[in-house]
Structure formats: C-alpha cells, structure tokens
A and B are shown apart, each in its own frame.
Chain A
C-alpha cells in the first residue's frame, strides 16, 4: 500500500525545496506519493527537473493562493 505524505517547503528558496523532497523521497518506497507545499515559484521547474534526473514522476503541479504545490510519485529506482 503506497503512502501519501506532505512536506512543508513554504518560505524556502530553491534549491531547499528540492533538497527537502530529495531527502524525504530517500526514506520512501516506490509508488509512495509526496506533496510539497512551496512558495518559491522556481519549484515548478526545479522539482520536475530533479524528478526527471532521478526517475520519479510529477503527478500534479497546482497553485493555491500564495502556494505552489508539486505532487511527486516515487519511482522504481528509489
């Protein structure tokens, strides 16, 4: 059963949100989902780039008021 978790990356400037996601994903299993809540608009480029390099999937990117929310599914290589 895959797990879903949320990461608070508000106020962090890139690449800190990427580092938070990277370090959190390292503790997860393939198929798990993490939702990163961020305020730096750079995450909509950086987290997907990090996912492409490392074999993870971006499930969703959305804006919610001041937040940019990126949802990542952990890939098989994790």
Chain B
C-alpha cells in the first residue's frame, strides 16, 4: 500500500505540534513547512536584547520538527507576503494583523508545495473558535475555498466538527481518531500534549506575529505615513523590532538602542543609516532614518544624549558617522526629559 504523505504547517506552537503527531500516529509520512514572513516572533529576536539572554534562544518551529522527528522546510515568503499586509481582502484585526488573509495565503503556498512535491494533503493545527479573526467555524471553508486546496486540507484537532475531507473519505486517515476541539480553552491541547509526552513547548502570549502587537503596528503605520505609501523592505521591518523609535519631525526618526545587545545589532546597519555615537559618556548607538538639516542633526544628538549616561551632564560629545564612514564631532546639551514630546516616542 502506498504510504500517504502530508505537509504540516508548523508555526512552532503547541497546536501544530499536536496536529502533526496525531497524523503521524496514523502512519502518515509528515514533513513540515514554516513560512517566514519577516514578522515572525522568535525567541532569538528578543535574544538581541541582553536582558533576555537567559531565555532559550531556540527557533520553536525547528524545535517542534526535531521533537516530531520530521523534516522542516523553512520558506522565505517575505516578498510575496507584502501584498497580504498591504491589501488584506478580509481586513485587519485589532492591529495590522491580516490573520485570515495570512492563513489563506499560507495554505495556498502549502498547496502549491504538495502539488510540486507529490504529497497528498496539508494539515494545520487550527481549532474552531481558537482565534477570533481567523479560526472561526465560518472562516474554515473560506480558507479551503480561497486557497484553492478545498478538501485536501485536514485540521486534525477539530476535524470531527467539520465536514469530511479527502484524506478521511479515502481512508488515508481514520476520522474516529481525530479530535473535536473547539473554543479558546487550552486544556484539551495540554492534556493531549501530556499524552504524547510533549513538555516545554512554546506558549507565546502574544501570538507568533509582530503584526498582532499594538506597539509594532504603530511603528509600521508611522513608517508608511512618513513614506506616503505602504512600502517596506526586510531591513525596515527588522529594525522596527529593536530600539526606541523617536520621530521628533516628519522628515526623520531616530532608532535608539535600549541596551548593549541592540547596540551590537544596530551597528550592523551603520553603512545604511547615519549613526550617532556618544564619545564622552556611556550610551546607546543611534541610527537616523531620514534626511536631516543641520538643526535636525543637533536636535537628534540632544535627544540621543537624553538617553545616555550623560543625560545630566552639561555637554555630551558625539561622533556623527555618515554611511560612507566619514566622522564629524559634535557636542550638545542633553534635552530635558520634559522637552521630549510623548507623541515623538512611537
């Protein structure tokens, strides 16, 4: 008998881990796919910050794949994904999260993958009612229809609440051994994890995508507004994840490292953005995004000085380094905290 093959969407969270194991238990060969949008939240993104250095720096999708003993294909969809972020047909959630369009897009890509690689069906860890935007009973058929995958999409954790799919009808998987989870409770998943012996699995409090994060969405909106259009490159959305973003004027913003780990990371951008480096005191690396007048440059240095160890000094000295590496020395009086408009800090 031909062994059937399934591709699992692996986010790194518990649900996809369980859904995959449920299908493996039925003798199906499973491989995983993890789509990288650029907005993914991963432990080591935070690992740039020294304060998180004691937290595990693992990639949860890789960790899941290793626990499951499956191959994982990590696919860069950064460019294609932009259209999902710019123009989500089904709209945004509470922030700039296009969750339903995102799910449709990922299932569509997974469908393309199985057709190319001669796999039989796709599985996801979706659970009806788990997420208010994308995982509702009404949206389940929308994902199937608009992705073009139709009944080759199986959701093992809630399959019993849904119409039969091709793998069930054909007897590739036994429907009676699938599950009927629904709602926001995590207890059934935790019980199943215990049954399978999974411990130490990821439980991200804010989901797995920065677009669900309010502060991140504010910074992204600000970037689009300053550019006059919805546009980004990978470096842009990476830099939105680090530093303190301060926009004192429409024509430029400062990205001020919050600690040594971020300074180290941001130094890597010194050939793309001019930098302000404090020489007289300890202090953060600052990148400048935008076109500056002489007054703007001095204002930038005053603000950056405010966040340095020289905040109370009469004078703070800087090296201003342009993207060619040319250095110019300047000195400023640090800005008083009361003079920093709260609206500047994104």
Interface residues of A, Cβ cutoff 8 Å to B? 10-11, 13-16, 18-19, 22, 39-42, 44-46, 49-50, 52-54, 66
Contacts and interface: CB of A to CB of B under 8 A. Distances in A.
A56 to B, nearest CB: 12
Contact of A13 (B44, B56, B267): B44
B76 A42 contact: no
A42 B268 contact: no
Interface residues of B, number: 34
B57 A19 contact: no
13 contacts: A10-B268, A15-B61, A22-B74, A40-B265, A41-B57, A45-B59, A46-B59, A49-B58, A50-B72, A50-B74, A53-B62, A54-B71, A66-B264
Interface of B: 34, 36, 40, 42-45, 47-48, 56-59, 61-63, 65-66, 70-76, 234-235, 238, 241, 264-265, 267-269
A17 B62 CA distance: 13
B44 A42 contact: yes
B59 A49 contact: yes
**B contact face: mostly helix, strand, loop, or mixed:** mixed
Nearest to B261: A41
Nearest to B238: A13
Contact of A53 (B71, B235, B268): B71
A46 B44 contact: yes
**A contact face: mostly helix, strand, loop, or mixed:** helix
Q: Which 7 A-B pairs have the closest CB atoms?
A: A42-B44, A11-B268, A49-B62, A46-B59, A42-B57, A14-B44, A19-B76
A42 B40 CA distance: 14
B47 A15 contact: no
Contacts of A49: 58-59, 62-63, 66
B57 A15 contact: no
A22 to B, nearest CB: 6
Contacts of A45: 44, 56-59
A40 B58 CA distance: 12
A53 B62 CA distance: 8
Contact of B42 (A41, A42, A52, A54): A42
Contacts of B75: 19
Contacts of A50: 62, 72, 74
A39 B34 CA distance: 22
Nearest to B271: A11
Given A40-B44, A42-B43, A15 B71 contact: no
Given A42-B43, A45-B57, A15 B268 contact: no
